[in-house]
Amino acid sequence: SSTLEIKDLHVEIEGKEILKGVNLTITGGEFHAVMGPNGTGKSTLASAIMGHPKYEVTKGEILLDGEDVLEMEVDERAQAGLFLAMQYPSEISGVTTSDFLRSSINAHREEGDEIPLMKFIKEMDEAMDYLEMDKNMAQRYLNEGFSGGEKKRNEILQLMMIKPAIGILDEIDSGLDIDALKIVSKGINKLRDESFGCLIITHYQRLLDYITPDKVHVMMNGRVVKSGGPELAERLEAEGYEWIKEELGIED
Ligand code: ADP
Ligand code: MG
Ligand code: MG
């Protein structure tokens, strides 16, 4: 199993410091939830891990099994085993969902080890059945005209087929009705094993009714300010974030 270590990570966007020293370690077999109010840097953390060019790391380290992730290009990060399901998946006109999925799987594999077409089709069919997806979606252009729920299921389809070492799911629950939420959770839970570690970013604790995290982290003002077990998420659901601010003496 793999370990992703984030140490004292500082990130700027257009000269403004957004992450102010994030520390977090995820190992295969573990599900970690990152919660926190809007605008505290959760998506920034996800984008910085994946190497989005707009996010400048000014200090700190990201290590995957001891390897320096910050030295890697975006495609090398994917190949090393990192996968991000984005908060707002993009539409790509002219590229079918199936073609995108196949090239995305191959981008996570070594050159010369591409997934054989028939194996791909069989696995895609099975995963789409599991996620109760309409098979026609595979031949439609990526995310074009997909509902919010369809886009998120499509991200989970990728996750299930890529089976990355570390998956980062940014608000995979946003915009989902309860049935879609259950299906998306079912897909994520199916991946639970020693070879898979998951960072689940969510604003609400609702998703955590279906996916039990091993650890819960609260982010505020660009830092992880509190960590605990699943009971921490329940307390946030019941009481919001104010008590943490008071406890830690954080001013707005
Ligand atoms: P969260 O995901 O926790 O809601 P974000 O990481 O999206 O928070 O945003 C953190 C802060 O960074 C916010 O103040 C937001 O306005 C700012 N920010 C995020 N992305 C960009 C961007 N691409 N350009 C400028 N500012 C950004
Ligand atoms: Mg947000
Ligand atoms: Mg966000």
For 3-59, the pLDDT digits (tens) are 999 999 999 999 999 999 999 999 999 999 999 999 999 999 999 999 999 999 999
Residue numbers of the domain that contains 200 = 3-92+164-248
The residue whose CA has the least distance to atom 19 of ligand 1 is 44
Output the CA torsion sign for 72, 173, 30, 33. Answer: positive
Could you tell me if residue 76 is inside a domain?
yes
The residue whose CA has the least distance to atom 18 of ligand 1 is 13
Could you tell me if residue 101 is inside a domain?
no
Tell me which of 40, 44, 88 to substitute to probe ligand 1's pocket, judged by most ligand atoms within 8 Å of the beta carbon. Answer: 44
The residue whose CA has the least distance to atom 20 of ligand 1 is 44
Contact between 123 and 161 under an 8 Å Cβ cutoff? The reply is yes
Could you tell me if residue 97 is inside a domain?
no
Cα 217 to middle of ligand 1, angstroms: 18
**Which pair of structure tokens corresponds to residue 232?**
């921490």
Which ligand approaches the C-alpha of residue 170 most closely? 3
Q: Is the ipTM above a cut-off of 0.90?
A: yes
**Which pair of structure tokens corresponds to residue 80?**
């090393």
Could you tell me if residue 149 is inside a domain?
no
Backbone angles phi, psi at 4, to 5 degrees: -105, 120
18: Cβ below 6 Å to ligand 1?
A: yes
Domain containing residue 214: CATH number: 3.40.50.300
Q: Which residues pair with 34 in a beta bridge?
A: 201, 217
Cα 13 to middle of ligand 1, angstroms: 8
Distance CA 60, CA 10 (A): 6
Could you tell me if residue 12 is inside a domain?
yes
The residue whose CA has the least distance to atom 15 of ligand 1 is 39
Polymer length in residues for the chain: 252
Which ligand approaches the C-alpha of residue 15 most closely? 1
The residue whose CA has the least distance to atom 27 of ligand 1 is 13
Q: What digits encode the pLDDT tens for the residues 77-117? A: 999 999 999 888 888 888 999 999 999 999 888 889 999 99
Q: What digits encode the pLDDT tens for the residues 204-243? A: 889 999 999 999 999 999 999 999 999 999 999 899 999 9
Pairing relationship of beta strands 31-35 and 197-201 according to DSSP bridges: parallel
Q: How many domains does the chain have?
A: 1
Task: Using the atom order of ligand 1, give the atom closest to the CA of residue 46.
Answer: 6
Could you tell me if residue 27 is inside a domain?
yes
DSSP sequence for the chain: --EEEEEEEEEEETTEEEEEEEEEEEETT-EEEEE--TTSSHHHHHHHHHT-TTEEEEEEEEEETTEEGGGS-HHHHHHHTEEEE-SSPPPEEEEEHHHHHHHHHHHTS-TT-PPPHHHHHHHHHHHHHHTT--GGGGGSEETTT--HHHHHHHHHHHHHHH--SEEEEESTTTT--HHHHHHHHHHHHHT-STT-EEEEE-SSSGGGGTS--SEEEEEETTEEEEEE-HHHHHHHHHH-SHHHHHHHT---
Could you tell me if residue 142 is inside a domain?
no
The whole-model pTM stands at: 0.94
Collect residues with CB below 5 Å from ion ligand 2.
Answer: 38
Could you tell me if residue 102 is inside a domain?
no
